[in-house]
Chain A
């Protein structure tokens, strides 16, 4: 009986194809918008999380200055020193402690040049940042302590300066320094802001300070925490240690800050979730409007089909048979709209995620939810018209012109 009623509803919908499509449009757009927004939002969260994770999940960053907002220099404290890194290394449970300082420079090789980020680092930099050497070798401790003019280059720099040629052993000029390339790093791809993680040149920090920067400043210390250690407790220890080393009095604010990547990931994903929820709410409103459209058309349909209802009642339909018929018609309409919306929304989300180079993640939960919600819209807004139909008086309905 139920199947028969659904079948009947589908035929009724087809008889009024144009009107049915227009009626469904509200739900189609509503569901489509929800699906697109949620899918794109999920993709954005995943891609940001992935690129932050690429820095290493268990990485802390120690920076001078008290401002906690990423990307802003804020009030600057005294710069860090290499000795700070040495002191931090004494803390138990660390994998790597990598002090670093950087500068944008033109790298020149033969008749080619390429503007890139040149960083002074130690041997710990590669493990702390998750880089691996693809060709050649890492810096040695000897080279780092001596501040030798040797360097590692990223995949992008290798491509720009050497094309398909072999960079190993070649000398690039960085400002006034000539550096021998001892290794090429494996590619890490694009970062979270679309920045290129492979566009870099690394050389011993002493060499960088002496020959490029002209000072002994350290801009940042990356601290990789061992698996299973709590980053927040390590963070507290570093903060204590740094306050002591920088002689910050009791109650005075830090003039440095320690950032926890885990925290940043959480902040980013909660922000994204909030955006998604907000946009979802907007989309839900449009679904509501779609539901009202369905109610409107169902009311018109009940009036138009008054005689039909009279005939059905006359041959023995109960009020609830008629109620069910119209309710199922409304639900079928809204669910069909929901299905179309899911298809369109998925298509839209696919196009957007592809264009923005984000992962396209299909969430089955959300699809089920979208269906359930559109069916619910059908029930909610179909009930009133269906009840009106079910309560018609058979004789009056039969007389209706």
Chain B
């Protein structure tokens, strides 16, 4: 692990993302340089529409930048094809989406199992791991419920369990505690900090709550598609 820690986990060099053309052109990202190392716990903040989600999608190999270079573990993602990027997602990355993005009409536990299906994990082991992930986010007893039978906060926790179940090395979480009350938020944050410390899980977390900065070691602030602030946080 010490060797891995030396190498940057991933690096963005002048990443730009432009939507639309001409009059309606939107520069969602405008030259982002960012280097994140193995085992970091980073909070990303910024106003709505500042490009946080767009940036996270590029980091997660879901989206491709209009310009710039993205090095994932030293490899240039720009040179990878669709399937290779899918394999990076499958084996290294866990997502918590802003809108949860759970499969409708599908039980919580099956939602959580989904990443394991594509990792070709056997059904029995899948079930065991999914149930323990649900337990970790405090959702045991709700595993048979479908998303429409769960509250917003519960859905969010299912999404977190789904991101963690495959034991990714990079967790990308878009406002993972946005719908939770303060005690739940505290629980989830403590879980993330614990995973970060014990397993060396690298976490990039978008948040609008400044108080969450207390849990992280580094804070990045976006404004109009640029990084305007990037500094370590002194833990309290």
Contacts and interface: CB of A to CB of B under 8 A. Distances in A.
A313 B166 CA distance: 15
Contacts, number: 57
Interface residues of A, number: 20
A311 B86 contact: no
Given A315-B95, A395-B57, A307 B115 contact: no
Given A307-B101, A311-B103, A311-B114, A317 B86 contact: yes
Q: Is the interface of A mostly helix, strand, loop or mixed?
A: helix
Contacts of B120: 1
Contacts of A291: none
Contacts of A394: 62-63
Contacts of B114: 311-312, 315
Given A4-B117, A395-B57, A314 B95 contact: yes
| A-B pairs, 10 with minimum CB distance | A316-B90, A315-B115, A316-B118, A316-B89, A395-B63, A317-B118, A318-B83, A318-B86, A311-B101, A394-B62
Nearest to B162: A315
Interface string A212-243: 00000000000000000000000000000000
A10 interface: no
B166 to A, nearest CB: 8
Given A4-B117, A315-B114, A15 B57 contact: no
A314 B62 contact: yes
B115 A4 contact: no
Interface string B86-105: 11011100010100011111
A81 interface: no
B123 interface: yes
Interface in B51-81: 57, 60, 62-63
Contact of B91 (A307, A312, A316, A395): A316
Interface string A1-45: 100100000000001000000000000000000000000000000
A321 interface: yes
Contact of A308 (B63, B103, B162): B103
A264 to B, nearest CB: 62
